[in-house]
Amino acid sequence: MEQWEEVDQTGLTIAERCVYRTRRRAVELYMKGGTGAEILCATGLSRTAVMKLWNRCCAKDPDTGKCCGFWALIPKSKMKNFIR
């Protein structure tokens, strides 16, 4: 896994920042090998929710071809453009 870019949180609202930090904590615990029960206790997120977040983080950005990383954890962030 490559090093993911840090997210500048100054442009986020307080609510968005709280959601982002909770999601990031859950993903970091998952990366360190935390169990589902540990992650649920620490963040309130289920193992299924963390797996969805992990898959979003590992998805490739269609424009750059890089992993989306922690940017995928920002609430209401779009990972790909809508194509009809």
Would you place residue 80 in the very low, low, confident or very high pLDDT band (cuts 50, 70, 90)? low
What SS3 state is found at 20? helix
Q: Please give the backbone phi and psi of residue 56, each rounded to the nearest 5 degrees, phi first.
A: -65, -45
Predicted local distance difference test score (pLDDT) of residue 81: 55
Q: Report DSSP state, residue 75.
A: T
State the Cα–Cα distance between residues 25 and 73, nearest whole angstrom.
10
Instruction: State percent of the chain over pLDDT 90.
Output: 56
Q: Is the pLDDT of residue 2 over 50?
A: yes
Question: pLDDT, tens digit, for every residue of 8-35?
Answer: 899 899 999 999 999 999 999 999 999 9
Looking at the DSSP bridge assignments, the partners of residue 67 are: 60
